[in-house]
Amino acid sequence: MKNIKLLILGILFGIVLSKAEIISWYRIYEMFKFQSFHMYGIIGSAVVISFFLMQLFKKGIIKDEAGNKIKIQEKEKDFKRTFFGGTIFGLGWALSGACAAPLFALLGYSFLPAFIVLIGAILGAFVFGLVSKKLLN
């Protein structure tokens, strides 16, 4: 039952990504060319609203459904890792016009080509896993 809730939440997220054209290659190109406010408005407003939610989580005003305090995991402080990893990700984001979540929604629009991108992404995650020990030391 718990997983069904996440399936439904995923459906909502997939529809939002599609209907707001976040999955459109052109929208990502336009964003990186600073030719439209659209994507900045989406990410910016999501961050601002989430900032207030995070405050409510931290203060324990909003708890999770089981009544536990919601904790936000601290991201690892490693400049090299986040910066270079981020840059590599950005190259792929701009070339494919999709970040991780849109990859799944795109399958509904352009099945085979999007499937190849997804396979590439899984391969990329796999290769990272294999070399992670060397890269992170």
Partner 1 sequence: MDFILQPWPWYVAGPLIALVLFLMFYFGKKFGVSTTLETFCTLSGANKLSNYFKNDLKTQKWRLFFAAGIFLGGVIAANFLTPNQSVNLNPDTVLEMASLGFADGGKTFLPKEIFSLEALLSVKGFLILIGAGFLIGFGSRYAGGCTSGHSITGLSSLQMPSLIATIGFFVGGLIMTWFLIPLIF
Report residue 10 as tokens.
């995923």
Q: How many CA atoms lie within 13 A of 12 on its CB side?
A: 6
How many angstroms separate the CA atoms of 136 and 78, rounded? 9
Contact 133, 49 (CB under 8 A): no
Query: What is the nearest approach in angstroms of partner 1 to the Cβ of residue 74?
Result: 7
Query: What is the nearest approach in angstroms of partner 1 to the Cβ of residue 30?
Result: 5
- Between 48 and 137, name the residue whose CB sits nearer to partner 1: 48
Query: What is the nearest approach in angstroms of partner 1 to the Cβ of residue 118?
Result: 6
The residues in 41-100 that bind partner 1, with binding defined as CB under 8 A, are: 41-51, 53-54, 57, 62, 64-66, 68, 70, 72-79, 81-100
> Considering only residues 1, 59, 112, 137, which one is a binding residue for partner 1 as defined by CB under 8 A?
112
The residues in 23-42 that bind partner 1, with binding defined as CB under 8 A, are: 23-33, 35-42
> Considering only residues 61, 133, 134, 137, which one is a binding residue for partner 1 as defined by CB under 8 A?
133
Size of the site for partner 1 (CB under 8 A): 116
How many angstroms separate the CA atoms of 44 and 73, rounded? 21
How many angstroms separate the CA atoms of 30 and 135, rounded? 33
How many angstroms separate the CA atoms of 38 and 137, rounded? 39
